[in-house]
Each structure stands twice: as C-alpha cells, then as structure tokens.
C-alpha cells in the first residue's frame, strides 16, 4: 500500500461488482486512492487487480455489518492518513423473489436493515473524524423504492427510506460535510436481477453509464440532500 497524503482517498463498500465497482473505476481514472470492500474475497481480489492498473487500491474483504471489519476499514483509512469520500454502496435486497410485508421473513428483514441502514450509519460514525478533517463527502446509495410503494418491496424500500432520512439528519448535524442519498435508477446488476428473477433485464443500463453523473455530483458539491443520478443527466448525455 502506498500512503497518499496529497491524492484524495475514497472508501467504496460493495465494490467487487455492479455500481460499486463501476464507481471505483470512475474514481480510479481520476487518480483517487481507493479502499474497497466486499464480502467475497475472490471477487474483490479480481476487482482490486484491475483497479491497481489505474491507482493505489486497498482491498479488504468482509461484511459491513461486522464491527471488526468496520474497524479494519477505519484502520486502513488511518494508515492512508485521510478520507475524502465514503460511498455506502453495499446493500442487501432480501429474499428473492421479494416477499410481501405481511409474509416477510423477519430474520431476513432484520438482515436488510442491518446491511442497508445500521452498517452505513456505523461506518460513517467511525470515519467521521477523517471525513470532517477533509470536509469530505458521504454518498449513501438509495433507490426509488425509498419513495415509491412498490408491492413486495416493503423491506428494502423502507430500509432505503430510513437511510435517506438518516442522510438528512447527518447532513443537519454535520454541515461541514456534503452528505447525499443518491438513487442511481434501475441498472443491469445482480441485485436488480434478483428482484426480477427469470425476467430479461437487458434493457436496463449498465452501471458504468451513471458514473459520470456521480462524478458530476462530486465536482459540483450541491447542497446536502437526496438526488437521483438523472438529476445530473447533462453529465451522461453524449
């Protein structure tokens, strides 16, 4: 690992695939030093090997709901000496196919809340000193299910709604930070496929297509709040 006191540092969770990996590549191409995590060690190594051709990258396999793993991530930030951006991307949809709330498996529902609400809050807590020192940014990946009442999306949608509100509160409590909940829109990811098992989702855009919108958000640093990637559509128009 190469300590980086001058280059910006980002921590991206759930970065072995999908939107997290696409965002990591977008940041790497801009020279950001990266700390990335995911539960699957093999997939994370593959991602890190590809990113290492572009920038310094620290891969740490683990589960964001595990306090020891979060401590390891914080230690990596401490070794690099700064943190400019935290992307809480790691998410859990719940069982596939999705379940109506009246029949929801409560153990699975607790896991959805642990991954999608508690873990992002907990990770932000341990990294607040470094984020504050850098007047940094927190990006919590949201969903339109946080604001729309789709049948069978009650667990995931209500968890993302809770994360949205936690984002607003964190922004009010830490005006020195830029704190965002961002709905990326429907994307061609494994999670989206799990939400629609057996269906053809090839019409959904690839995750990389929304990366320019996220980078534009980082560049513009608008007021803290909830945004859609589509709000930055000028960045994704060819």
What is the Cα gyration radius of the chain?
17
The Cα–Cα gap between 185 and 197 comes to 18
The Cα–Cα gap between 31 and 10 comes to 10
Contacts of residue 5, Cβ cutoff 8 Å, sequence gap at least 6:
81, 82
For residue 206, what are its two tokens?
């690839």
Q: Catalytic annotation on 92?
A: no
Contacts of residue 121, Cβ cutoff 8 Å, sequence gap at least 6:
166
38, 14 in Cβ contact below 8 A?
yes
Residue in 92, 113, 156, 227 annotated catalytic: 156
Catalytic annotation, residues: 156
């Amino acid at each position: 690992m190469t300590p980086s006191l001058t280059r910006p540092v980002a921590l991206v969770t759930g970065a072995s695939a999908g939107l997290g990996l696409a965002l990591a590549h977008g940041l790497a191409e801009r020279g950001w030093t990266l700390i990335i995590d995911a539960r699957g060690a093999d997939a994370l190594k593959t991602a890190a090997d590809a990113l290492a051709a572009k920038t310094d990258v620290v891969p740490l396999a683990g589960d964001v709901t595990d306090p020891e793993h979060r401590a390891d991530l914080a230690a990596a930030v401490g070794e690099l000496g700064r943190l400019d951006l935290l992307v809480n991307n790691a998410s859990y949809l719940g069982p596939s196919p999705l379940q109506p709330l009246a029949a929801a498996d409560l153990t699975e529902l607790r896991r959805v809340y642990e991954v999608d609400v508690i873990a992002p809050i907990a990770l932000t807590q341990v990294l607040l000193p470094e984020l504050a020192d850098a007047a940094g940014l927190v990006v919590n990946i949201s969903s339109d299910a946080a604001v729309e009442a789709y049948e069978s999306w009650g667990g995931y949608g209500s968890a993302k709604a809770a994360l949205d509100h936690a984002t607003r509160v964190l922004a009010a409590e830490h005006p020195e930070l830029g704190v965002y909940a961002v709905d990326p829109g429907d994307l061609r990811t494994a999670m989206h496929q799990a939400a629609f098992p057996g269906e053809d989702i090839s019409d959904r855009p690839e995750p990389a297509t929304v990366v320019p919108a996220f980078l534009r958000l980082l560049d513009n640093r608008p007021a803290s709040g909830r945004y859609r990637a589509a709000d930055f559509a000028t960045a994704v128009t060819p």
